[in-house]
Amino acid sequence: MFRLRLALSYWSILTAVVVAGCSAEPASTPGLSLPAQPTATVLPPASPTVAPQPTPTFPPEIVATQVADIVGVWKLNYRGAMGLFPASLTIREDASFTLEDTARGAPLSSGLVLFADGKVFLDSEAWFDVSVGTFPYQMAFVIYASLYEGQPLRLRFESAEETSDPRTSRFHMNFDGKVLLPAEE
């Protein structure tokens, strides 16, 4: 019997709380004092605003028509038969170039840069590929350069020819559509 009274007491209290919570006016509970005014919500301190990092902008691109438009040491990630590795393309004022695996200091190719009919040719008698060895090859690109005060800041290569030769497609894949930035010295 005592348990039944206790259960009914709990049930009465629970019902009163639910009904009071649903009523339009606040319920008063004897012995419980509520503040007359609502209290302000305390918010955590605001975190400092971090300024966005500026995005580098480059001058408009021009189509490279002379060696001076593309001279420099340019970095790229090169995908060879042994995987991806850092490489550099050095183009000199005398129109010579060197492509080098910078991780191992191993040359991949060297030759001359030629300009004709709006295209740039990387012409070499000694392209090297670990899977096929050394062979002569000439790649044709349209090279877009961003220049500042006559100095190239960025190069973008677009293939000017189709290639189906498996020996040479890797070289095109590594340059076609790629943007090269100067290598840190």
- The token pair at 114 is 């030629």
The arithmetic mean of pLDDT across residues 25-53, rounded, is 65
20 band by pLDDT with thresholds 50, 70 and 90: low
Residue 115's beta-bridge partner residues? 120
The pLDDT of residue 82 is above 50:
yes
The pLDDT of residue 129 is above 80:
no
Which of the two residues, 16 and 169, has the higher pLDDT score?
169
Most confident of 88-92, 116-120, 122-126: 88-92
Per-position DSSP letters for the chain, written without gaps between them: -HHHHHHHHHHHHHHHHHHHHHSSS----TT----SSPPPPPPPPPPPPPPPPPPP--PPEEE--SGGGT-EEEEEEEEETTEEEEEEEEE-TTSEEEEEETTTTEEEEEEEEEEETTEEEEEEEEEEETTTEEEEEEEEEEEEEEEETTEEEEEEEEESS----HHHHHHHHHHTT-EEEEPP-
d(CA 67, CA 88): 17
**The pLDDT of residue 178:** 87
**The pLDDT of residue 90:** 95
> What is the CATH topology of the domain spanning 61-182?
Lipocalin (2.40.128)
- HSE toward the beta carbon, residue 23, CA cutoff 13 A: 10
d(CA 87, CA 183): 9
The pLDDT of residue 128 is above 70:
no
Domain residue ranges in the chain: 61-182
130 band by pLDDT with thresholds 50, 70 and 90: low
Residue bearing tokens 């005014």: 37
d(CA 65, CA 144): 9
The arithmetic mean of pLDDT across residues 151-179, rounded, is 79
